[in-house]
């Protein structure tokens, strides 16, 4: 029996398979699946970071801990280590970089709101993603290059709470890196509310802490803070081999103000005198109401001669000042000043305070209204420099 010949028109198994598209040929199925799995893993990773970041930030009160968390988590999330945290000053419409802080910068430089791209973000309250920020007409090199000199992109996220701008989170990519994309902006916006809560909580916590060391009448620090700040500044001065000066001052004949005008007028004068001191000291200096009509100024990085010159200028301005003019009075008030300096007059807190106190009494026992500095040739023979 003859076998039937196979039909030449019968389709083969290969011809039954659907034709593969160019996309299938270019991207094999197993590679596409791997990409999907990898993208899912990245998404899960980002969600885990956001979850841990939110929990950490909303439970944290310490600003330095917040900064560390933001740098570690957000930097990893966005793929950039160039981050900055800008905060608004509490007493002025100026901002400063809380992070990063330069080693030589104990007191950060402050800038007016509206200056540079960072200031613009603070002023508008709107997030911005800027490619090639150096080409922006409002670019300010001092402000906007604070984090990195050459940037391919800059992400600015305002930190807003209850309609008020607290600061800005700044993320920068360098020229040799891929610029940030819109997806980075959207990703960062998902955690900025957590950061706003954290910063506001930290500010409130700091204010509560400040109440325990702040004088109610003058809003200067109170005597509780003196040993704390003096110990810290002495340690810093030792570390950097710098001098630290302290000014102890007592108002002259202040009792006569209370006797003549009453204690309410006396309290108002103390308040105005606190404002007078605050306006004269640098932002790195510390003003303290020691008690009654006695005040202390701590002047970091200040040699004795410079401290005396500072006091001389303050005394000259004090001579020109009239107190309680808004209350229909024109009271003149002088003070006696004493200056001591670390390490010349002592290496401990108690020694520095005692030396300044003794120097002040040199003036008090004389004609008052002057300054005396321990171990300073300019005091001459009378142990006092009167102005």
pLDDT in tens, 68-124: 777 677 777 777 888 888 998 876 688 999 888 765 556 688 899 999 999 999 999
Predicted confidence at residue 9, as pLDDT, reads: 53
Predicted confidence at residue 322, as pLDDT, reads: 96
CATH number of 221-386: 3.30.70.270
CA atoms of 380 and 387, how far apart (whole Å): 13
Using alpha carbons, list the distances in angstroms from residue 33 to 27, 28, 36: 10, 9, 5
CA atoms of 329 and 199, how far apart (whole Å): 43
Query: Which homologous superfamily does the CATH classification assign to the domain defined by 25-210?
Result: GAF domain (3.30.450.40)
Give mean pLDDT, residues 325-339.
96
pLDDT band at 230 (very low <50, low <70, confident <90, very high): very high
Tokens of 56: 């950490």
Is the Cα torsion angle 134, 140, 141, 146 positive or negative in sign? negative
CA angle 253, 306, 345 (to 5 degrees): 75
Flag the least confident range among 57-66, 218-227, 275-284, 345-354: 57-66
CA angle 222, 246, 244 (to 5 degrees): 120
Predicted confidence at residue 177, as pLDDT, reads: 84
Asked, as a colleague might, if the bond just before 206 is cis with ω within 30 of 0, I would say no
Predicted confidence at residue 150, as pLDDT, reads: 85
- Cβ atoms within 10 Å, residue 47: 11
Q: Do the Cβ atoms of 73 and 52 come closer than 8 Å?
A: yes
Give mean pLDDT, residues 342-362.
95
CA atoms of 367 and 369, how far apart (whole Å): 7
Using alpha carbons, list the distances in angstroms from residue 129 to 177, 180, 195: 15, 8, 18
Flag the least confident range among 168-182, 264-278, 350-364: 168-182
Predicted confidence at residue 42, as pLDDT, reads: 59
Q: Do the domains 25-210 and 221-386 sit in the same CATH topology, yes or no? A: no
| Domain ranges across the chain | 25-210, 221-386
Predicted confidence at residue 39, as pLDDT, reads: 59
Radius of gyration of the chain (CA): 33
Report which of residues 32 and 136 the model is more confident about: 136
CA atoms of 146 and 100, how far apart (whole Å): 9
Q: Which of 368, 356, 313, 372 minimizes the C-alpha distance to 226?
A: 356
pLDDT band at 339 (very low <50, low <70, confident <90, very high): very high
CA atoms of 343 and 251, how far apart (whole Å): 27
CA atoms of 85 and 101, how far apart (whole Å): 10
Give mean pLDDT, residues 350-361.
96
């Amino acid at each position: 029996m003859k076998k039937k010949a196979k039909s030449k028109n019968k389709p083969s198994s290969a011809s039954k398979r659907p034709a593969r598209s160019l996309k299938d040929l270019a991207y094999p199925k197993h590679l596409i699946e791997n990409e999907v799995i990898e993208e899912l893993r990245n998404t899960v990773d980002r969600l885990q970071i956001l979850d841990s970041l939110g929990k950490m930030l909303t439970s944290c009160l310490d600003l330095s801990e917040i900064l560390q968390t933001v740098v570690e988590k957000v930097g990893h999330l966005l793929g950039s280590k160039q981050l900055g945290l800008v905060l608004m000053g509490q007493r002025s419409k100026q901002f400063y970089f809380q992070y990063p802080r330069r080693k030589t910068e104990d007191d950060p430089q402050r800038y007016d709101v509206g200056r540079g791209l960072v200031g613009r973000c603070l002023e508008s309250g709107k997030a911005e993603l800027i490619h090639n920020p150096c080409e922006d007409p409002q670019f300010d090199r001092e402000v906007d290059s604070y984090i990195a000199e050459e940037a391919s992109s800059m992400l600015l996220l305002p930190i807003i709470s209850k309609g008020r701008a607290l600061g800005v989170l700044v993320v920068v990519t360098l020229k040799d890196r891929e610029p940030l994309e819109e997806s980075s902006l959207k990703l960062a916006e998902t955690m900025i509310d957590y950061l706003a809560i954290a910063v506001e909580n930290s500010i409130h916590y700091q204010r509560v802490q400040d109440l325990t060391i702040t004088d109610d009448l003058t809003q200067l620090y109170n005597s509780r803070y003196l040993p704390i700040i003096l110990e810290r500044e002495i340690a810093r001065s030792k570390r950097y081999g710098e001098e630290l000066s302290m000014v102890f001052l007592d108002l002259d004949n202040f009792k006569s103000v209370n006797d003549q005008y009453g204690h309410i007028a006396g309290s108002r004068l103390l308040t105005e005198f606190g404002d007078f001191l605050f306006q004269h000291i640098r932002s790195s200096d510390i003003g303290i109401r020691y008690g009654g009509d006695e005040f202390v100024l701590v002047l970091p990085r200040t040699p004795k001669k410079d401290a005396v010159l500072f006091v001389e200028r303050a005394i000259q301005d004090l001579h020109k000042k009239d107190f309680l003019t808004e209350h229909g009075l024109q009271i003149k008030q002088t003070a006696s000043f004493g200056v001591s300096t670390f390490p010349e007059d002592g290496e401990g807190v108690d020694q520095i305070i005692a030396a300044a106190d003794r120097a002040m009494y040199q003036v008090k026992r004389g004609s008052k209204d002057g300054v005396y500095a321990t171990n300073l040739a300019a005091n001459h023979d009378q142990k006092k420099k009167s102005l």
